[in-house]
């Protein structure tokens, strides 16, 4: 029934190799002893008898589990051998009890050898059931390509591959090999670590924290425990560091650990305790998404208790408490801090109220830059984070202590914000037409969520992200595991996100563009406007053109696309290149300067986006309009979309859109064109001549006479 290693190690190894080869049936007979039919029948009968005996032992062991001490012993054995099936766990526990050993780590002969340990001579192995598998052969004929077309059958979707002799790979004695079919079971032998000798195995011993905890942190966590009706004590907890008893509503922490470890244990119990005692159990999926520990009233309470203040000198609210009475309508956000452009990475630094760069923001912006974000995007993210930092300074709270309440108040303030004299921002009254645009608010929330997610992944920041995530109707993330063949599902907006109105892109009618073009003061500005409305390039793309990216003969200009950075040659109008040549002839260009667009005043430097925007602002002040550089791109798109000789894909290529749906927005008619056509319709109806009333019949003839006369005329015809 058992295997006793009384012979030499070589003989034991050879015996194992023979059992493995005869059990798997995967080889071609290489190195196998040829048996007669009678010998094979006898070996099969003996194997079947051993397996039947093992099953009888399992049945007897199950019957003995009715007694409480034996049941507890089986549970302890199951906890130690969780990689084995219940049958093998029972076999190991039964045989180990007979041998007088307490098994802790069990593995096969080959596994112990790979770990640098050898089985002690004379040790008795523990018999377990191991699967017998084989590789089925495909009966399809050869295709004539010289390749083997034999494959495993679909039923061979089993688990891991074969391992050392006498056990499956990885020490799992119950898993067949991957790509193989289970044929039956055989008897294999494993050994406990107490039956081996050699190198000690590496072990992971948890280390308890030492030292003192942050000031008042234990008290803040104790308040949370008492608030939910639990009693906190420092008592012995057996082998655990802490113990929570939902039935008795008590929380215990070991008294013989340092203050730092005690705070860590208490925080862990607060997060992992059942949310509501006595509540009916929810499905596993719901428990994973809604479990918050003690059913806390606010998900950011622990973040507020664990996080230190980070804004210089700002007062910190009490841990775990949020001010529900904060009046954002009377809140004034001072224009403290700022943005500083530097040559060091990430190129943009956000300064706090003391004028010191914020390290957390610098790390996040470096991550964005390393992920391929453009410098303009990094600056946009920096401005959004600066706005959030100023708000936190106004409410006197550190960024690590921010919770969902602060995110909510931040959105309310942005909806009601109005700039006052001196650059400060105050919140207006409810109903005033002030505040940031909905798209700006959503952009800020997206930046904040990405910032806190990055910091939390780095081990810094609050426990819960202050900006909530959008959740689909099934409780999953919006767009997760979406079927591309199914119609898109409509989901609700994420919490705090604003509803953005669907507006048509603003463009310039021809007569207004001519007026704006006439307001330009130089050939450079006229060339830029003409190229904007003929190429459809973005403002930054056209300003980044170099002198070697201009092909006057082909009427093309090369721009580097936003995002991808790829070079694309865009066609332009003939008038635009005429103005470009006039500008190049009159512009003084320093030696070695490759930028196409330069400033008019010395020293001549490359023209920036801010400088070109100021050129357009001066024209708007003169004309009383409010056009932007991006409106010129919309104008070019509408002009091309209205041309029947250009397809929509042509317009998509010129504009550089990744999706055709983005270009389809320009198929909708412009407001000025619709208004002009409707007014023309009304004028046409008003200019039509009035309809003359029909002349009455001539007098003197009776109607019946006329009918008779006309009827006789028809009959004659």
User: Residue 143: which region, alpha, beta or left (left: phi > 0; alpha: psi -120 to 50)?
Assistant: alpha
Q: Is the dihedral of CA 550, 556, 559, 564 positive or negative?
A: negative
pLDDT averaged over the chain?
Answer: 76
Listed residue (342, 346, 458, 452) closest to 392, CA to CA: 452
Task: Establish whether the linkage from the previous residue to 346 is cis, with ω within 30° of 0.
Answer: yes
Asked if 236 and 189 touch (Cβ cutoff 8 Å), the reply is: no
Name the band, by pLDDT with cuts 50, 70 and 90, for residue 346.
Answer: confident
Sole residue written with tokens 């596993």 = 284
Cα separation, 186 vs 132, whole angstroms: 6
Cα separation, 554 vs 572, whole angstroms: 9
pLDDT of residue 345: 83
Helix (H) or strand (E) holding 369: helix 359-370
Above pLDDT 70, what percent of the chain?
A: 71
Q: Where are the alpha helices (DSSP H) in 167-316?
A: 217-227, 259-272, 284-290, 301-306
Name the band, by pLDDT with cuts 50, 70 and 90, for residue 504.
Answer: confident
Rg (CA), the chain: 41
Cα separation, 580 vs 531, whole angstroms: 9
- For the ranges 569-578, 681-690, 705-714, the one whose mean pLDDT is highest: 569-578
Q: Considering only 109-118, 296-305, 545-554, which range has the smallest mean pLDDT? A: 296-305
Residue 548 has pLDDT above 80, yes or no: yes
Residue 151 has pLDDT above 50, yes or no: no
10 Å CB burial of residue 685 (0-12, 13-18, 19+) is exposed
pLDDT of residue 10: 38
Tell me what the mean pLDDT of segment 591-602 comes to. 91
Listed residue (162, 68, 59, 77) closest to 126, CA to CA: 77
Cα separation, 520 vs 619, whole angstroms: 7
Per the structure block, which two tokens stand in for 553? 């003969």
Catalytic residue set: 538, 562, 630, 633, 657, 666
Asked if 305 and 266 touch (Cβ cutoff 8 Å), the reply is: no
Domain architecture of the chain: domains with CATH: 217-272 (1.10.10.2910), 338-419+436-458 (no CATH), 510-672 (1.10.443.10)
Helix (H, G, I), strand (E, B) or coil at 481: coil
Q: Nearest 5°: phi and psi at 564? A: -75, -30
pLDDT of residue 707: 76
Listed residue (454, 461, 466, 492) closest to 408, CA to CA: 466
417-476 pLDDT per residue, tens = 765 544 555 544 444 557 888 999 999 999 999 999 999 988 888 888 999 887 766 666
Q: Which residue has the higher pLDDT, 418 or 34?
A: 34
Beta strand 550-551 with 556-560 is: antiparallel
10 Å CB burial of residue 26 (0-12, 13-18, 19+) is middle
Q: What is the DSSP letter of 370?
A: H
Listed residue (457, 456, 404, 453) closest to 296, CA to CA: 404
Angle at 294 between CA 207 and CA 266, to 5 degrees: 25
Cα separation, 131 vs 108, whole angstroms: 14
Which residues on adjacent β-strands are paired with residue 568?
Answer: 559
Sole residue written with tokens 């509540």 = 279
pTM above 0.75, yes or no: no
């Amino acid at each position: 029934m058992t295997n006793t290693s009384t012979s030499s190690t070589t003989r034991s190894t050879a015996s194992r190799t023979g059992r493995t080869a005869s059990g798997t049936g995967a080889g071609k007979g290489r190195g196998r002893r040829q048996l007669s039919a009678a010998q094979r029948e006898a070996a099969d009968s003996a194997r079947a008898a051993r397996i039947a005996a093992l099953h009888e032992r399992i049945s007897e062991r199950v019957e003995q589990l009715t007694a409480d001490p034996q049941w507890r012993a089986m549970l302890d054995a199951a906890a130690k051998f969780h990689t084995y099936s219940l049958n093998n766990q029972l076999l190991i526990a039964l045989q180990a009890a007979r041998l007088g050993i307490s098994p802790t780590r069990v593995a096969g002969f080959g596994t112990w050898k790979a770990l640098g340990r050898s089985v002690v001579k004379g040790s008795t192995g523990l018999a377990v059931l191991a699967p017998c598998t084989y590789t089925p052969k495909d009966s399809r004929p050869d295709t004539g390509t010289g390749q083997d077309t034999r494959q495993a059958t679909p039923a061979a979707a089993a688990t891991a591959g074969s391992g050392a002799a006498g056990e499956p790979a990885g020490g799992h004695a119950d898993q067949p090999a991957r790509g193989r079919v289970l044929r039956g079971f055989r008897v294999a032998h494993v050994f406990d670590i107490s039956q081996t000798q050699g190198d000690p195995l590496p072990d992971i011993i948890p280390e308890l924290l030492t030292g003192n905890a942050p000031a008042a942190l234990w008290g803040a966590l104790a308040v949370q425990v008492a608030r939910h009706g639990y009693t906190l004590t420092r008592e012995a907890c057996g082998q655990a560091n802490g113990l929570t008893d939902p039935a008795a509503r008590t929380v215990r922490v070991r008294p013989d650990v340092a203050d730092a470890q005690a705070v860590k244990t208490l925080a862990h119990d607060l997060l992992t305790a059942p949310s509501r005692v006595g509540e009916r159990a929810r499905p596993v999926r719901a428990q994973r998404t809604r479990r918050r520990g003690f059913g806390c009233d606010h998900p950011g309470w622990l973040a507020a208790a664990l996080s230190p203040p980070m804004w210089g000198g700002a007062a910190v609210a009490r841990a775990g408490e949020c001010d529900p009475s904060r009046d954002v309508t009377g809140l004034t956000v001072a224009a403290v801090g700022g943005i500083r452009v530097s040559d060091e990475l990430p190129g943009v630094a956000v300064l706090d109220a003391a004028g010191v760069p914020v390290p957390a923001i610098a790390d996040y912006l470096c991550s964005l830059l390393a992920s391929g974000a453009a410098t303009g995007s990094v600056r946009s993210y920096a401005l959004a984070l600066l706005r959030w930092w100023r708000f936190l300074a106004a409410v006197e709270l550190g960024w690590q202590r921010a919770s969902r309440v602060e995110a909510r108040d931040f959105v309310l303030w942005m909806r009601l914000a109005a700039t006052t004299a001196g650059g400060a921002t105050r919140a207006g009254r409810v109903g005033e037409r002030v505040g940031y645009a909905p798209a700006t608010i959503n952009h800020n929330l997206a930046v904040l969520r990405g910032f806190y997610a990055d910091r939390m992944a780095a081990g810094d920041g609050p426990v819960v992200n202050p900006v909530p995530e959008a959740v689909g109707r099934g409780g999953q993330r919006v767009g997760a595991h979406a079927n591309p063949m199914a119609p898109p599902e409509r989901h609700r907006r994420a919490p705090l996100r604003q509803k953005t109105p669907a507006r048509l892109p603003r463009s310039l009618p021809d007569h207004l563009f001519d007026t704006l073009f006439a307001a330009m003061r130089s050939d450079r500005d006229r060339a830029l406007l003409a190229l904007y409305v003929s190429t459809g390039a973005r403002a930054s793309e056209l300003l980044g053109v170099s002198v070697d990216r201009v092909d006057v003969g082909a009427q093309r200009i090369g721009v580097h696309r936003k995002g991808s950075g790829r070079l694309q040659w865009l066609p332009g109008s003939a008038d635009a290149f005429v103005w470009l040549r006039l500008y190049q002839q009159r512009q003084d260009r320093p030696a070695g300067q490759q930028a196409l667009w330069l400033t008019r005043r010395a020293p001549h430097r490359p023209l920036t986006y801010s400088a070109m925007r100021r050129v357009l602002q001066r024209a708007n002040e003169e004309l009383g309009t409010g056009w932007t550089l991006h409106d010129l791109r919309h104008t070019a798109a509408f002009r091309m979309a209205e041309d029947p000789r250009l397809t929509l894909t042509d317009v998509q290529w010129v504009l550089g859109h990744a999706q055709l749906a983005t270009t389809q927005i320009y198929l909708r008619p412009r407001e000025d064109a619709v208004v002009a056509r409707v007014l023309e319709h009304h004028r046409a109806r008003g200019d039509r001549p009035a309809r003359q009333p029909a002349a009455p019949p001539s007098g003197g003839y009776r109607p019946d006479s006329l009918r008779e006369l006309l009827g006789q005329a028809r009959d004659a015809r």
